[in-house]
Each structure stands twice: as structure tokens, then as C-alpha cells.
Amino acid sequence: MADKPHLLDLNLQEWSEYIIGIGHKKYRARQIFEWLHTHLELDVTRFSNIPDDIKNHILNDFYTTPAKVVKHLKSTDGTEKILFEMKDQKFVETVWLKLRNRNTVCVSSQAGCSLYCEFCMTAKGKFQGNLSTGEILEQVYIFKRLVGETVNNVVIMGMGEPLMNYDAVMKACNLLNHDFGLNIGLRRITVSTAGVLPGIKKFINNEEPYNLAISVHSLNHDVRLKIMDAEKKWPISDLVKYLIENKHNLKKNKLTIEYLMIGGLNMTSRDAKELGYLAQKLDAKINLIPLNFEFDDYKRPDEKSIDAFFQAVKHCGVQVFNRSSPGYDIQAACGMLKYQTV
């Protein structure tokens, strides 16, 4: 069962090939696709306009057991978090954020994470592997059905490193954007990375139309090396050089620099100037995020320090946001996702 494709893994072209392959007319593919991606119906037996012969084939050839909702937590600020159990006993957490005019789902791309960042609770758990395209989509679809509201923003920023699961993630983005699916706008889908340079190169060379967010957290090699596994493999200097050289392939405001503020580590005036200068060079916006998960001697900065750093970066004439941490009380804020099964 584990090696069967997930019910949501196939795009419309692949469904067409499958339907023709089992001896049926191509139009059935669109009917099935719409049941799955428009109506978000994951129970094949409820496909009322599909013949039993086709439904039996699907039930035999695909993994059709929905992800199990193990926990559904609600924060005092309206944020919600679900712990899902996927096939093969993989566990992931997914977050619903209701902010201003956006209903955002923060989606996991791996069960655990294949990279290690000191400040992230996900890295403290066991890595259980990549999620399939269907398992990524299922998080959005189940959450939407449970909450009963429109999803108009998706960020692949949950558990895992999306660019270490590149093909499944990009296929999921394409399906989220599909006219016969949720039809989420290209600029309302964001893929995040800890700085996986080969994946970033592929993203840019493939001219992917989605937003890209890169977690920088420091432009100093030694500082970044202390807290991010990615720095060992893809130094920040190489990453910055590549981005500047390929700036013409990045649309303005398509790139976001994520910067975690850690008291006593990466919040000097020099850090602020270097960060602002980089954003200028790349026409990027900056998201500043206070540390949520404290570790060793690294602490969340006080509000005065946060504001001072924000103002110093803003003084560089760039677009910068001081991001809050919704869902802190249910461990749904940035860096706090780690499956808890008890």
C-alpha cells in the first residue's frame, strides 16, 4: 500500500493518461480532477458521476486513506494547528493563520526536517522523510473543509526544507494554482528555503512563478554556521553572489529575506546595514521575526531591541516588516512545529 501513488498526486494530464489506460474516455479525467481539487472530496465512493468500474480501479491503484487528524488546537489569537498522521505513520503539523484579508495555510513539505537549524524545534525531532504532492495538498484541503473558509494564501514554511523535496513541492504549487482547483494566485503562494543553493538555482532557472522566501538570519559566515546546517554546504557568500548575479531573473518583491532576530547574536548596527543593503541590491522585502524557541544562551530580544533593529533596517530605504508570532500559545509560531503525539 505504501508504494501506491496518493490520490492527490496526479495532475490533470496524468489523470487523462490513467483513464485512457484503463479503457475509458478522457473526459472522465476532468470529472475526477474536479471532485478532488475543486470539491475537495477525498472519498472516491462519493464521486456520483463516475462509473463503479472506474472507482474500483482507483480504489485498487491509489492510496485513498485520508490523513488522520490527531490533534486540532486553537489559539486565543485565532490561529489553528493540526497534527496529521500520514501514511507510513509520518506525522506533520500544519497551521491556519487568519491575518487581515488573508486566510493562510502554512504547509509542511517533510515529516521532520532534513536540515538542522539550532533555533528550530522541528530539527530536534526525527526526520521521517519527504511528503508526496498529495500529502502536501491534503493538509490544505482538510484544513479548508474543517474551517469552512476560503484559502487565499499558502506558504510552504512548515516542517521541512521545501527545496529538498523540490519536485513534489512545485507540483503541489501548480495544483493549488490550477483553474479547476483552488485557483490560488501565483503571488499568493510562497516557497521558503533555508538557503539550499542547488534548489534555488533550479527554482530560478525553471522560472517558477511563485514567491521565494530565503531564511538568511545572518550575513556573517561564522554566526550563521552556529545556527544553520545549510551554511556548511552552501555558504551565505555563495548564495548572495548567485542572487545578485541573477537578479534580473527575479521579479521585484518576488523575493523575501527572512531574518530571525536573536538577542546578542545578529542584531548589531552593522547587521542591520548589511541586511538593508542586500535587500536594496535584490529589490527584496524583509521579514523580521523575533526568536520564538529559545536555546542554550540564545534568547528572544526585548521589544526595545527589536524596534531599534527594525528602524535601523528601515532607514536603509527598504520594505521591511516586523512579523508577529501568531499561535505562540499552541506552539504554532515560526520555529515551533514539532509533532507531539501525546
In tens, the pLDDT along 210-254 reads 999 999 999 999 999 999 989 999 999 999 999 999 988 887 669
Distance separating alpha carbons of residues 173 and 91, to the nearest angstrom? 21
Over 70: is that where the pLDDT of 303 sits?
Answer: yes
pLDDT tens profile 49-99: 999 999 999 999 999 999 999 999 999 989 999 999 999 999 999 999 988
Distance separating alpha carbons of residues 160 and 293, to the nearest angstrom? 16
Domain membership of residue 76 (yes or no) is yes
pLDDT for the residue numbered 340? 59
Domain membership of residue 129 (yes or no) is yes
Three-class DSSP category at 132: coil
Do 200 and 315 share a domain, yes or no?
yes
Do 177 and 37 share a domain, yes or no?
no
**Domain finish residue from 61, 79, 97:** 61
Do 237 and 304 share a domain, yes or no?
yes
Does the annotation mark 334 as catalytic? yes
* 322 DSSP 8-state letter: E
Residue of 157, 64, 152, 151 lying closest to 108 (CA atoms): 157
Q: Order of strands across the sheet with 91-99? A: 68-74, 80-85, 91-99, 102-106, 153-156, 189-193, 211-215, 255-261, 285-290, 320-322
Do 149 and 295 share a domain, yes or no?
yes
pTM for the model? 0.94
Distance separating alpha carbons of residues 103 and 106, to the nearest angstrom? 10
Over 60: is that where the pLDDT of 315 sits?
Answer: yes
For residue 262, give the CATH number of its domain: 3.20.20.70
Q: Name residue 90's beta-bridge partners.
A: none
Do 142 and 190 share a domain, yes or no?
yes
Q: Which domain covers residue 295, as residue numbers?
A: 68-330
Do 43 and 158 share a domain, yes or no?
no
State the Cα torsion 259-265-267-272 to the nearest 10°.
-70
Do 16 and 132 share a domain, yes or no?
no
Do 23 and 110 share a domain, yes or no?
no
pLDDT cut 70: percent of the chain above it: 96
**Domain finish residue from 41, 61, 81:** 61
Catalytic residue among 80, 93, 161, 231: 93
pLDDT for the residue numbered 294? 76
Do 52 and 80 share a domain, yes or no?
no
Residue of 214, 204, 119 lying closest to 162 (CA atoms): 214
pLDDT for the residue numbered 342? 42
Does the annotation mark 316 as catalytic? no
Domain membership of residue 342 (yes or no) is no
pLDDT for the residue numbered 1? 43
Domain membership of residue 6 (yes or no) is no
Domain total of the chain? 2
Distance separating alpha carbons of residues 113 and 125, to the nearest angstrom? 8
pLDDT for the residue numbered 36? 98
Average confidence score pLDDT of the chain? 92
Do 131 and 45 share a domain, yes or no?
no
Residues 262-267 have a mean pLDDT of 93
Distance separating alpha carbons of residues 104 and 126, to the nearest angstrom? 27
Catalytic residue among 113, 117, 173, 334: 334
Residue 218: partners with Cβ closer than 8 Å, 6 or more residues away: 224, 227, 236, 265, 266, 271
Domain membership of residue 341 (yes or no) is no
Q: How does DSSP assign 171-232, residue by residue?
A: HHHHHHH-TTTT---GGGEEEEES--HHHHHHHHHTT--SEEEEE-S-S-HHHHHHHBTHHH
Domain membership of residue 265 (yes or no) is yes
> What does the block give as the cell for 187?
503571488
For residue 17, give the CATH number of its domain: 1.10.150.530
- Other CB atoms closer than 10 Å to residue 175's CB: what's the count? 25
Length of the chain: 342
Do 45 and 80 share a domain, yes or no?
no
Do 166 and 48 share a domain, yes or no?
no
pLDDT for the residue numbered 280? 95
β-pairing, 110-111 vs 102-106, is: unpaired
Domain membership of residue 5 (yes or no) is no
Domain membership of residue 2 (yes or no) is no
Over 60: is that where the pLDDT of 341 sits?
Answer: no
